[in-house]
Amino acid sequence: MLVSSMLNKIPGFILRPTYGIYEKRLIGEIKSENVPNHIGIIMDGNRRFASSKGLPVYMGHEMGMKKAEELLVWCNEIGVKVVTLYAFSTENFKRDSKEVDYIMKMLEQKFREAATNKKIIENRVRVKAIGNISMLPESVKEAIKEGEAATENFNDMTLNICVAYGGRMEIVEAIKRILDSCNGKGLDPEDIDAKLLSENLFTKGLPDPDIIIRTGGEIRLSNFLLFQSAYSELFFLNTYFPLIRKIDFLRIIRDFQRRNRRFGR
């Protein structure tokens, strides 16, 4: 308590260089060990952050989008190959129509920008939308096609953006695809296994997430990557998503590296 009290009295201009040194040391330690291949992020707390500051809801989503762009840079810096962001769930359509419209316009803009985004191009990031795309407005669908087409040959990093997404719905859709592939013929129950189901999920061909991070103080997955997260390491932060710091992210990665992952063995 005393140390915390003393730190609060230290001017920010003194602490900032200290944090910079600590960050560099952490990054060096992290890169020398097993870096997670795939990180999933439940970006929770945008609306509550805006409310806590007396700001309109849309500003919380705007700041959350900017933070997501920052987080992608942090992931790239340490060598993470796949990032999956939970941007908009199937349940989110029940929110106020003005808020939904704003988010849709923001998503449309970001997918269109993927074709010319300097960081996306320089780092060869493949952008993909994951979810029931048919539920989205036509303008968003077209923007997704543009963003995906412009980055489809990039393979240094993959950014999955979950829109109109729900984990249960994804599993149901996978089962439908399996049945459709039978062309009306019977399916031997012995042929159904985890590998077959995995190959029919939206994340086909991608590794399961090593880490799932949820901000905002809630301790649940909220229908996010339910099948894929069976052996993911879970981290829950009390911080609203727009306020997550690089040091918070790096500490999670360091903690992950210290965990003993046994995968049920």
59-98: pLDDT as tens digits:
999 999 999 999 999 999 999 999 999 999 999 999 999 9
Reported as a pLDDT band with limits 50, 70 and 90, residue 1 is: very low
46 is in an annotated binding site: yes
Place of tokens 């992952």: 261
- What are the tens digits of pLDDT across the range 134-178? 999 999 999 999 999 999 999 999 999 999 999 999 999 999 999
Give residue 121's identity as a one-letter amino acid code: I
Task: Return d(Cα 147, Cα 116) in angstroms, integer.
Answer: 9
- pLDDT greater than 90 at residue 213: yes
91 is in an annotated binding site: yes
CATH of domain 28-257: 3.40.1180.10
Known catalytic residues?
44, 92
Q: Chain-wide mean pLDDT for the chain?
A: 91
Report the range of poorest mean pLDDT among 18-27, 49-58, 226-235, 246-255. Answer: 18-27
Q: Name the packing angle between helices 12-31 and 57-78 (round to 10°).
A: 50
- Which of the pair, 56 or 14, is modelled with greater confidence? 56
Q: Is 126 annotated as a binding residue?
A: no
- What interhelical angle do 97-113 and 57-78 show, nearest 10? 30
- Does 222 appear as a known binding residue? yes
Which pLDDT value is given to residue 184?
63
Q: Is 158 annotated as a binding residue?
A: no
- Residue 257 phi, psi dihedral angles, 5° rounding: -65, -20
Give the residue carrying structure tokens 């997704």. Answer: 144
**From CA 204, how far away is CA 201, in angstroms rounded?**
5
Q: Are 20 and 192 in contact (CB under 8 A)?
A: no
Would the pLDDT of 11 be above 70? no
265: confidence class by pLDDT, cuts 50, 70, 90: confident
Q: What is the pLDDT of residues 131-146, one digit of tens each?
A: 999 999 999 999 999 9
| Interior/surface letters 188-206, b for 16+ CB within 10 angstroms, e for the rest | eeeeeeeeeebebbbbeeb
Average pLDDT estimate for 115-133:
95
**Mean pLDDT score, 191-209:** 94
How do beta strands 157-165 and 211-214 pair?
unpaired
Tokens at 213, concatenated? 């991070």
45 is in an annotated binding site: yes
What pLDDT was estimated at residue 117?
92
93: annotated binding-site residue? Answer: yes
3 pLDDT exceeds 50?
Answer: no
| Residue predicted with more confidence, 260 or 48 | 48
